[in-house]
Structure 1
Amino acid sequence: MKLMQILLSQSEAGAETYFEKVAYAFTKDESIQQRLIIEAQPTRENRLQSAGVDFRTLPMDRFGKLFLYNHFLKRYVSDFDPDLIVTWVNRASRKCPKSRAVVVGRLGGYYDINNYRKCDHLIVNAPDLVRHVVDNGWSQDDVSMISNFGELPEPLNVIEPIPSIPEGHRILLTLGRLHPKKAQDVLIKALPKIPDTTLLIAGEGELQEELQALAQSLGVSDRVYFLGLRKDVRKLFDLADVCVFPSRFEPLGNVVLEAWATKTPLVAAASQGPAWLIEHEKNGLLFEIDNVGQCAEQVNRALSDHDLVKGMIEQGSLEFEKSFSMNVIISQYRQLFDQLINKKMERRT
């Protein structure tokens, strides 16, 4: 199978990070010849090269983007002549050139379905996204729900320094854009009620100054470290005593899967995705969205109740291995791709 994956984005958000993980995973399948098309971006290129992924880049300088971008996009697709193309995020799905390939759009959020008119099939990663797509006019037969996997491939990691942690402190980790949806403010507000802990916040965004001011006003600024965008997530999970995921709005929640994969105790707000994934007190702890007191209470339980934590780690690991490991998810992708390619070939004969 000749597989092409297209990502036309400069962002380093969750969808783009998962795109890199899936691309790496497919390099392990010797029966698949894979090639990516990405926009020129040195940090992403370095990670993909380190992971042994074949890719082509589109120019992002002013002249190249204006006059050569679309030309190279069409040429790269034509030269590779793929059997199947996966388009990631809206722009790639909207700009995908015509070819003989089956075109599969991958959605990880409640995106505008008008961007996916060129797609033959859609993949979503959570049950409610199936509803979203079908409600917007797609046939149930043309939509597949394949969730994400939780592994953090080592070749995609870029090791960066870790701040000094006060002796005797336990480490809380939260990951995500510094955005109102991610609700880092809830966790910072809870921190005065969670003694002897240091909070590591991995992510960047427009709320950093506001969140820093909040930590200062609550007298916990010396216990909160803003790490910025990080690509050594496995190292951060290995350091963490508890992973906290306070998002107000989350269709799925890669952080949940990554916590299970790394056997890290997990506390999360009961937003859409985490509430689907987590069974309270079995494979994680849930608290009401925006409830600062409950957040503090559940984090303190995760720090102190060793028997509870041991059971949650065991159950989370079992759930991960059964349903959200790289082998399981990539096998589902591969099975779907084979079906779609065979179906298209049958129509031609």
Structure 2
Amino acid sequence: MEKIIFILTGLDYAGAEAQVVQLAMGLQLRGWLVQIISMIQPMAYAEELSALGIGLVSLNMKKGVPDPRAIFKLKRIVENFQPDIIHSHMVHANILSRVTRFFVKVPVLISTAHNTNEGGKVRMLLYRATDPLCEITTNVSQNAVDAYIQKKACPKDKIMFVPNGIDLKKFKRNEEDYAIIRSELGLQDEFVWLAAGRFVEAKDYPNLIHAFAKIADKDKRCKLLIAGDGVLRESMEGLARSMHLENQIKFLGVRKDIPRLMNASDAYVISSAWEGMPMVLLEASASELPMVATDVGGNGEVVKDGVTGYLSRPANPEELAEKMNTMMSLSSQERQEMGHNAREYVLEKYDIDAIISRWESIYSEFYNGKKVINR
């Protein structure tokens, strides 16, 4: 067993995609032959994957447009590559991979979801109907696993929790960078919050902007950096202007230097309405940043309330602002202790090398016909 295909909906700078890329690179370095298939045209990571000799292929589908021809494109790729394992990620790729199994032999197919919410009843029905076509479904938080069982997307004995992993070497506190990066961003001695992620409904940026407005009303010197892009970015910039926050919120766009931004910040905030297991919370933890997060999906599995940060109810800007104010009222030593606790926790639970080893064990046991449910 040494050949694996990862298939996912698209390849962009987002959490699920970043995790797939880390798994692919880690396995390639361990001697696997790896290929990645993107259903739509990939927008990121091509150079990094090419440098390691990882093949990247697109099915050239159009976003939001079903195309049955993709089944046969995928069939040809599988026939040529002859993988031992296909590991699909996110709902569209999971369903496509399962249906394609009607037309081509695949020794083992594993489906991974990355959220508590991948769509409504129709998608959950498709998961349920195609479940016999994969060996197992996994999700990235225990909360998400429980949600999928409750929605009857997967039988209880065919779904398991396998967390995301983080490369701790890439994310660590570097005090020497603090002043340098803040100077580059035009920051001085303000309290700086960082948020990073796509401008999509799930991230609920209106919740964050309204919460930050309550803080900024009391402290004009605090700043909020938001890194990312997406369909809702323009409307969120408009919301910030309408609330006279354009001088306190910086929209940074897509950034490839998130570790540096972490080092320029005093705390991290995430305001999601729903989540799976946000990679960015693992990155913030590894960077020793204390965090404020909405208590959805796997957020509460990373942010330990009062230990590594604070949790707020979702869609509640008043409570989110209260938790952010509490964080700002702590001494720098107390915040540093929270950040230290956060790094120790992800080191124990989410180190990428340990997660890759776990995946190798799962691949091996299913390939050899042994069940690994409820591990």
TM-score range, shorter chain: 0.7 to 0.9
1:125 to 140, 146, 150: 140
Q: Secondary structure at the match of 1:226?
A: strand
For 1:328, the equivalent position in structure 2 comes to 354
Where does structure 1 lack aligned partners over 5 or more consecutive residues? Answer: 155-160
Query: Alignment partner for residue 154 of structure 2, among 138, 146, 151?
Result: 138
Q: Which has the higher contact order (CA 8 A, sep 6+)?
A: 2
Q: Residue 123 of structure 1: CA displacement?
A: 1.4
Cα shift at 1:42: 5.3
1:247 pairs, out of 247, 266, 272, with: 272
| Alpha-carbon separation, structure 1, partners of 2:68 and 2:303 | 48
For 1:6, the equivalent position in structure 2 comes to 7
Which of 216, 220, 234 is the aligned partner of 2:245?
220
Q: Is 1:264 aligned to 2:328, yes or no?
A: no
After superposition, the C-alpha distances for 1:70-110 in whole angstroms (9 at most, x for unaligned) are 54422221122111110112232222232232000011123
Matched, 1:35 2:35: yes
On the 8 A contact 2:11/2:44 being kept in 1, the answer is no
Distance 1:43 1:310, change over 3 A: closer
Counterpart position of 2:178: none
User: Where does residue 169 of structure 1 map in the other structure?
Assistant: 190
TM-score (norm: length of structure 2): 0.79
- Residues 290 and 93 (structure 1), Cα distance of their counterparts in 2 relative to 1, 3 Å cut: closer
Cα deviation code 1:205-246 (max 9, x no counterpart): 332233222222222211212122333322222222211111
CA contact (8 A) 2:275 2:299 kept: yes
Amino acid at match of 1:150: I
Which residue of the partner structure matches residue 314 of structure 2?
289
Superposed displacement of residue 59, structure 1: 5.1
- Contact 1:37 1:76 (C-alpha < 8 Å) held by counterparts: no
The alpha-carbon deviation at position 311 of structure 1 amounts to 2.2
CA gap of 1:187–1:119, structure 2 versus 1, over 3 A, is: same
Are 1:215 and 1:221, in contact at CA under 8 Å, matched by a contact in 2? yes
Residue 259 of structure 1 and its aligned partner are, at CA, apart by 1.0
2:234 is aligned, of 177, 193, 209, to 209
Tell me what 2:176 maps to.
none
Letter in 1 for 2:261: L
Shift of 1:54: 1.0
Q: Does residue 1:48 correspond to 2:49, yes or no?
A: yes
Residue of structure 2 equivalent to 1:276: 301
8 Å CA contact 1:102–1:120 kept in 2: the answer is yes
Q: For 2:189, what is the secondary structure of its paired residue? A: coil
Contact 1:107 1:123 in 2 (8 A): yes
After TM superposition, the structure 1 stretch with the greater mean CA deviation from structure 2, 189-198 or 274-283, is: 189-198
RMSD of aligned C-alpha atoms?
Answer: 2.9
TM normalised by structure 1 equals 0.84
Task: Confirm whether residue 183 of structure 1 aligns to residue 204 of structure 2.
Answer: yes
Q: Please list the CA deviations of residues 146-202 of structure 1 after superposition, one character each: whole Å capped at 9, or x if unmatched.
A: 011133786xxxxxx997323222321111222333222232223342431221112
- Partner SS, residue 272 of structure 1: coil
Unaligned runs of 5+ in 2: 171-180
Q: 1:228 to 1:133 in 2, by over 3 A?
A: same
Identity of aligned residues (%): 22
Counting only pairs closer than 5 Å after superposition, residues 278-317 of structure 1 correspond to structure 2 as 278-303=303-328, 304-317=330-343
| Range 118-127 or range 190-199, more displaced | 190-199
| 8 A Cα contact 1:5 1:86, kept in partner | yes
Q: Deviations over 1:268-294 (max 9, x none)?
A: 122232223322111112223233343
Query: For residues 86 and 96 of structure 2, what CA distance do their matches in structure 1 show?
Result: 12
Deviation at 1:14, TM superposition (A): 2.8
Distance 2:319 2:106 in 1: 54
Kept in 1: contact 2:203–2:272 (CA 8 A) = yes
- Verify the 8 A CA contact 1:56 1:76 in the aligned structure 2: no
Distance 2:68 2:148 in 1: 34
Contact 1:181 1:248 in 2 (8 A): yes
| SS of match in other structure, 1:27 | helix
Residue 141 of structure 1 deviates from its aligned partner by 3.1
Partner secondary structure for residue 47 of structure 2 = helix
Task: Specify whether residues 188 and 100 from structure 1 end up closer, same or farther in structure 2 by C-alpha distance, changes over 3 A only.
Answer: closer
